[in-house]
Amino acid sequence: MVSTNKKILRVALMLTYTFIIFILLFLLSSLYTYFNTGADRSAMLHTEVKKVDQYLPKVDWKENGNEGREISDQKVAEILNDYLDSWYVKQASFLSNTRLGIDDYFTKNARKNIFNIIDYNKENNISIESTTLKHNLDLEFFSEDGQLIVLKDNDVVEYKKTLKNNEIIMETSEISDYKAVLLLEDGFWRIRHLVKEATKDFDKTTTAAQFDFTTLKGINYYPQATPWDMYGDQFDINIIKNDFKIIKDAKLNSIRIFVPYADFGKANVKEDKLQKLQLVLDAALEVDLKVVVTLFDFYGNYNVLDWTLNHRHAEKIVDRFKDHKAIIAWDVKNEPNLDFDSRGKANVIAWLEFMIITIKEIDKNHPITIGWSNVESATILKDQLDIISFHYYEDIADLDQQYLTLKTKIKDKPIVLQEFGLSSYGGFWRPFASSEKKQAEYYKEIQKVLTKNSISFMSWTLYDFDVVPKEVLGRLPWRTNPQKKFGFINNKGEKKLSYKYISN
């Protein structure tokens, strides 16, 4: 008995011993591991180049020779880079009234001029939010020793917003000619002298584009499986082609699609995405569907210093597809008026206005519209737009009246009801919410109004969706679930009751 107890005790002691040793070893080894973690040897020198596009105004370099030494393309690239950076740091400094970065791009004497302005503005609580949209550079002179250049920068389009105590005092856009002397110091081309030689207000008028289409009968389109992610990895042109056939067979003549900003690569638009968009447009052309292309989906910054990047994005896409026969209009942005509260109404409108100018400069033929989320906003920028588009999710009984009121304000431009619809989401737990029947009833009623006034329309949307990305409406199920049931066709591919009233 005693020996059994002893044995138990011995085993227990040994186990405890092993356990303690195990714990100790574990602690020591994790300590050892800790001291061996940290920077990777290859990363110690920080040799990797991290260049993020911050500022990409449209730049035209005139190749008409220059006095002095002949210049190489390599040098031109260096000068362009530093000269544009000098504008960027200057604008960043005037915005925050700090001196950061100025030293790198202005010589000792030249930077005093900027510091004086910063100091004055700081004292008076003024800040200037500005950007330049266009530079036309012409090298006048390059010294024989490669250390000095004289640069002419004509028709610089500058947009400035002046804030006092963080309130917008004024907005202005100017077009100016500059001459600059730059010196190569410490490997930077630094501005030594900058002289504004001419300036005037920037003329924002654009020419109107014709919209020669009687009545749009269309639908907002996303594939059933990949809503809000049309050009992702699951992109399948055959599904889209099939959907276009369904749309065409439903006696509709147009669709509205969306180009997500970040997904397409922001300022450096990705070629593979453009090719996917090309396939979609070609597919639409095949069945003779007209396409309204909505740009800047999932974009909501509008920051003045972000403009040049946005412009390069739009430029790339519009330039690529400006001659595509399927496109009937460019929609600059979907429901930008919803960003008025968070981003400032003036900000958003200025952004839209300059985006219209940019797009029109590239594509003079296609009309431009903006998908305002309600009738009240539809008059904003009405003179700049070629088509007025609004979305309507309110009471169907008021539509007729609202439309007629809008029509009195907009006399000479086509009006499109660009989004409308009703979710069929409901069930026994929400008996009063909705149902397929109610949805069908809704479309039946609304089609009466549309037919009566021969309003161009684009309904929301073809399919019921299984997923709604959190970026669209957040994660809350009582918000996302109704959004899944806006379709004319359910997620199994069966036509819902409303399908009967898809067109008039």
Partner 1 sequence: MFKKVFLLLFLQLIIVSFNAQETNAVLLSKKTTYTVHENIKLEFNIKNDTLIKLYCTNSYGSILLKPTILKDKISFDIPKFLSKKRGILYWKTINFKETISGKISISSQQQPRTLETYIGPPSIDAGGLDYTMLVVIPTDSLDNPILDNSNVDVKYQFLKSERKVPIKTKNLIAYRNIYSPRKSGRMIVSSESYGLNSKEFDVNIMPAIATNFKIYYHRNHDYADGNQITTFYTSIIKDKNKNIVSDGSYIEFYITNKKGGILKASGTTINGVAHTKIIHPDFEESWKVQAFFIGISQSNVINLTYKKVIEDFNTQFFDNNREIKIGPLTSFMDQLIPDGLAVKLFIYKENKIVGELFKESNQGYASFYLNPNIYENGSYRMVVETAGIKKEYNNIKLW
Residue 147 engages partner 1 in binding (rule: CB under 8 A): yes
- Which residues, 95 to 134, sit near partner 1 by CB under 8 A? 109, 112-114, 116-118, 120-121, 124, 126, 128, 130
The H-assigned helical ranges of 301-389 are 307-321, 340-343, 345-362
Nearest to partner 1 of 51, 200 (CB atom): 200
Q: Which of 2, 44, 45, 170 binds partner 1 (CB under 8 A)?
A: 170
H or E segment to which residue 85 belongs: helix 73-96
β-pairing verdict for 167-185 and 254-260:
unpaired
In whole angstroms, the minimum distance from the beta carbon of 172 to partner 1 comes to 6
Task: Give the C-alpha separation, 439 to 425, whole Å.
Answer: 9
Candidates 297, 300, 295; CA nearest to 343 is 300
Residue 167 engages partner 1 in binding (rule: CB under 8 A): no
In whole angstroms, the minimum distance from the beta carbon of 85 to partner 1 comes to 16
Residue 145 engages partner 1 in binding (rule: CB under 8 A): yes
Residue 176 engages partner 1 in binding (rule: CB under 8 A): yes
In whole angstroms, the minimum distance from the beta carbon of 118 to partner 1 comes to 8
Nearest to partner 1 of 201, 412 (CB atom): 201
Tell me, what DSSP letter sits at residue 132? Answer: E
Cβ proximity of 293 and 260 under 8 Å: no
What sign does the dihedral 111-113-116-121 (CA atoms) show? Answer: negative
Residue 201 engages partner 1 in binding (rule: CB under 8 A): yes
Candidates 501, 440, 499, 504; CA nearest to 246 is 499
Cβ proximity of 375 and 392 under 8 Å: yes
Q: Which of 181, 284, 416, 502 binds partner 1 (CB under 8 A)?
A: 181
Q: For residue 101, what are the contacts with CB-CB under 8 A and spacing of at least 6?
A: 89, 92, 93
Candidates 302, 366, 368; CA nearest to 336 is 302
Residue 8 engages partner 1 in binding (rule: CB under 8 A): no
Residue 165 engages partner 1 in binding (rule: CB under 8 A): no
In whole angstroms, the minimum distance from the beta carbon of 75 to partner 1 comes to 15
Q: Which of 18, 29, 30, 172 binds partner 1 (CB under 8 A)?
A: 172
Nearest to partner 1 of 1, 195 (CB atom): 195
Nearest to partner 1 of 140, 155 (CB atom): 140
Cβ proximity of 462 and 415 under 8 Å: no
Residue 194 engages partner 1 in binding (rule: CB under 8 A): yes
β-pairing verdict for 67-68 and 217-220:
unpaired
Give the N- to C-terminal CA distance of the chain in Å, as an integer. Answer: 98
Please choose, out of 40-48, 66-74, 340-348, 468-476, the segment that lies near partner 1 by the rule CB under 8 A: 66-74
Q: Which of 6, 164, 204, 430 binds partner 1 (CB under 8 A)?
A: 164
β-pairing verdict for 456-459 and 327-334:
unpaired
Tokens of 427: 């069930």
In whole angstroms, the minimum distance from the beta carbon of 101 to partner 1 comes to 15
Residue 141 engages partner 1 in binding (rule: CB under 8 A): yes
- Binding positions for partner 1, rule: CB under 8 A: 67-69, 90, 94, 109, 112-114, 116-118, 120-121, 124, 126, 128, 130, 140-141, 143-148, 150, 152, 160, 162, 164, 169-170, 172, 174, 176, 178-179, 181, 192-201
